[in-house]
DNA sequence: CTGAAAGCGCTAACAA
DNA sequence: TTGTTAGCGCTTTCAG
């Protein structure tokens, strides 16, 4: 058993209240008693029991992070950004992987409540109403990252996905491409990625280009989806470029094209989205819209901590700048 | 304020002890009272306060995970494996990024102690004595993953890095290569990766091939290290293959070779190590020694939980099987 | 400036 | 089978 506040009090010949005071820098404790206490603390290698403190103060200095999957390519950096900021403010994070399973999300939410986390960073691409009901019920400050609810009732950190996609497709058009395919999601469903399809459509429209469903593949955002999507598209269509709603898709598409001796970018321009690490080391290096993952995590955490501490927050719905990164997958 | 055990007791017309009993399935509580209590719980949407429970039972059902960097390519899967198992046994994980900074590691270790985690999964490539002293002092069950202490005093989960490297280099030799370079670490320093250099040396020796320091580059395990390492080596040496102590290195090396119009694998065979996700989607797909990352996390967590619960463990130093994955970066 | 004591929400003897 | 009660280790009134 490690030393408790009692042991320190006895060692220093004071009451536990006094020990607590020097621990928390409260009141002007007499310099000498303070010193005595500090010596006792050192001697006993005392460290306060945070669980006990938490019970009393109702503050656990821990924050829950709910994500689909830490072993994906996208979330680790967000989590890292979040943890770095948490660490600065002496918070710790409890990590929860949900695989987008709503039941699992809800169970974690409840467990986090039981463990009295002070706040939650919530990432999910399917923002179900019952999740929000639960969040309301739990009464724990919650910040949404990557996605957000439509009426912006909850604090959030995102990028403008529609505009990002718009810029991407515009870039492709500026490069002289005439027939631009799309691979990704296009169905709504409280998921941001469909906004990329919206951006794609708007870019075509504003450039007086026709939307052709035959070169639109809505199957998902994984490598396989890109692989299959492009095969499906080029089977019966001639394209000169493709906008992929994720870098994984872009990678899959490039690999499929390569197998068919179609050169990227000489024959087909390929754009990705997100700028995951692979995008920068893949061959060819992928031109993409970069989401500031680390910043999304750190900004989200900072916002959350402010809310927890009831500080004034001027803005609760952050839209962080994205960036078009020109690399080698487009001419 | 959420409902407490008192509220439930009042609602059900019983004592808090009875509520606690049905909560913990203790004794044979009368079926009827049990039902009453359960109804009260449901009505009040009561969930026990785990912090209070932890203070009493000295069990927090949380486990700390200390890793260098979750945003690296290597650790997310380990963490995922660990979390999945933790979740099965109703543990939660607190994630700590240390960047291999020993002071940060020690501080996290202490904080985890304050928060009364029941166990720690510790990953670090520099296992300092003072870390072990602290672990001893803290008296928290700790399992090492990826690395281990030399005398196997602490439970651990690793692979046989020396043998893995040996197999890799042997593979290269079997393919007919005569001059095999090495890029990675070679200095000891309580770090497993030097074992890969040992394996490299042994393979050369057992095949009566000469060790040539001029084609050995010891600079690190990152993409840049591979990039610079290979440039350094081929500047003045003719090689037909290179064994890289990490996939990142292999990627860097391949990119550098490509820039010089040296074809992989036609001109030079390149092998990696670890089998990170990129290895399977890179072009060319990288032949490598796969560490079972997910399993290392899950086995480590399972072992840790057993130790926490004082179950008999027959074996405390696991050496998991690695696998040579043949892909396209070798002829 | 310091100490005594109540209590955070729960579990676990001990009684009844 | 159930209730009473003493803490777990800490913070925080309230006195002194």
Q: How does pLDDT run across A290-323, given as a tens digit for each residue?
A: 999 999 999 999 999 999 999 999 999 999 999 9
DSSP at B226? H
Question: Is A45 in CB contact (< 8 Å) with chain B?
Answer: yes
Chain A residues in contact with B251 (beta carbon < 8 A): 281
Whether the predicted pLDDT of A188 surpasses 70: no
pLDDT (tens digit per residue) in A230-281 = 999 999 999 999 999 999 999 999 999 999 999 999 999 999 999 999 999 8
Q: How far is the CA of B88 from the C1' of C13 (A)?
A: 31
Confidence of residue B167 (pLDDT cuts 50, 70, 90): very high
A137 contact B CB<8A: yes
pLDDT at A152 over 80: yes
Q: Which of B160, B82, B85 is nearest to B121 (CA)?
A: B82
Structure tokens at A188: 């709504």
Which pLDDT belongs to residue B2? 80
Cβ atoms of A76 and B70 within 8 Å: the answer is yes
- The length of chain B in residues reads 331
Q: How far apart are CA B17 and CA B20, in angstroms?
A: 5
The string of pLDDT tens digits covering residues A34-81 is: 999 999 999 999 999 999 999 999 999 999 999 999 999 999 999 999
Contact A145, A300 (CB under 8 A): yes
The predicted structure's pLDDT at residue A125: 80
CA of A51 to C1' of C8 (A): 11
| pLDDT tens, position by position, B248-271 | 999 999 999 999 999 999 999 999
For B66-110, the pLDDT digits (tens) are: 999 999 999 999 999 999 999 999 999 999 999 999 999 999 999
CB contact set of A180 (below 8 Å; sequence gap of 6+): A169, A172, A173, A200, A204, A209, A215, A239, A240, A241, A242, A243
Kindly indicate the confidence band of residue B33, based on its pLDDT and cuts at 50, 70 and 90.
very high
Q: Which residue is nearest to nucleotide C5 (CA to C1')?
A: A17
Level-2 CATH architecture, domain B62-159+293-320: 3-Layer(aba) Sandwich (3.40)
Minimum-distance nucleotide, CA of A53 to C1'? D10
The CATH H-level superfamily of B161-290 is Response regulator (3.40.50.2300)
CB-to-strand D under 7 Å, chain A 2-61: 4-6, 16-17, 19-21, 23-24, 26, 48-49, 52-53, 55-57
**Residue ranges of the alpha helices (H) in B58-160?**
75-88, 102-114, 129-138
CA of B52 to C1' of D11 (A): 15
Is B60 within 8 Å of chain A by CB? yes
Q: Are residues A62 and A92 in contact, defined by beta-carbon separation less than 8 angstroms?
A: yes
- The structural domains of chain B, with segments of one domain joined by +, span 5-48, 62-159+293-320, 161-290
So what's the pLDDT on residue A217? 96
Q: What are phi and psi of B44, to 5 degrees?
A: -90, 0
**Interface contact A70-B71, CB threshold 8 A:** no
Q: Is the fold of A5-48 the same as that of A161-290?
A: no
DSSP for residue B94: E
Angle between helices A102-114 and A129-138 (to 10 degrees): 0
Q: Would you call B48 an interface residue with chain A, using a CB distance cutoff of 8 Å?
A: yes
Specify the pLDDT at position B44.
92
pTM equals 0.94
- What integer best gives the mean pLDDT of chain B? 94
Q: Are A45 and B137 in contact (CB < 8 Å)?
A: yes
As a residue count, chain A comes to 331
Query: pLDDT category, B291, cuts 50, 70, 90?
Result: very high
- Answer CATH for B5-48 from 1.10.260.40, 3.40.630.30, 3.40.50.1000, 1.20.1050.10: 1.10.260.40
């Amino acid at each position: 058993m490690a030393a408790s506040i009692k042991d320190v009090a006895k060692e220093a010949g004071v009451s536990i209240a006094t020990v607590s005071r020097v621990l928390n820098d409260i009141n002007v404790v007499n310099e000498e008693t303070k010193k005595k206490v500090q010596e006792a603390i050192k001697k006993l290698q005392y460290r306060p029991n945070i669980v006990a403190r938490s019970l009393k103060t109702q503050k656990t200095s821990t924050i829950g992070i709910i994500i689909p999957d830490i072993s994906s390519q996208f979330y680790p950096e967000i989590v890292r950004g979040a943890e770095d900021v948490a660490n600065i403010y002496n918070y710790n994070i409890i990590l929860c992987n949900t695989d987008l399973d709503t039941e699992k999300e809800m169970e974690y939410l409840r467990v986090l409540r039981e463990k009295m986390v002070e706040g939650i960073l919530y990432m999910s691409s399917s923002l179900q109403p019952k999740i929000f009901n639960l969040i309301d019920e739990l009464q724990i400050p919650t910040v949404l990252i990557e996605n957000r609810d439509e009426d912006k009732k909850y604090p959030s950190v995102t990028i403008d996905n529609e505009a990002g996609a718009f810029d991407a497709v515009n870039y492709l058009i500026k490069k002289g491409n005439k027939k631009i395919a799309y691979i990704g999601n296009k169905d709504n469903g409280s998921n941001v990625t469909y906004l990329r399809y919206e951006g794609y459509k708007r870019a075509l429209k504003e450039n007086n280009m026709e939307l052709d469903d035959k070169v639109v593949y809505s199957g998902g955002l994984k490598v396989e989806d890109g692989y299959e999507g492009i095969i499906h598209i080029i089977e019966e269509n001639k394209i000169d470029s493709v906008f992929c709603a994720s870098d994984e898709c872009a990678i899959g598409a490039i690999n499929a094209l390569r197998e068919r001796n179609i050169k990227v970018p000489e024959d087909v321009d390929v754009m990705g989205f997100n700028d995951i690490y692979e995008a920068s080391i893949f061959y060819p290096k992928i031109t993409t819209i970069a989401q500031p993952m680390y910043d999304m995590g750190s900004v989200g955490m900072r916002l959350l901590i402010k809310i927890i501490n009831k500080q004034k927050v001027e803005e609760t719905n952050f839209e962080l700048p994205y960036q078009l990164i020109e690399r080698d997958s487009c001419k």
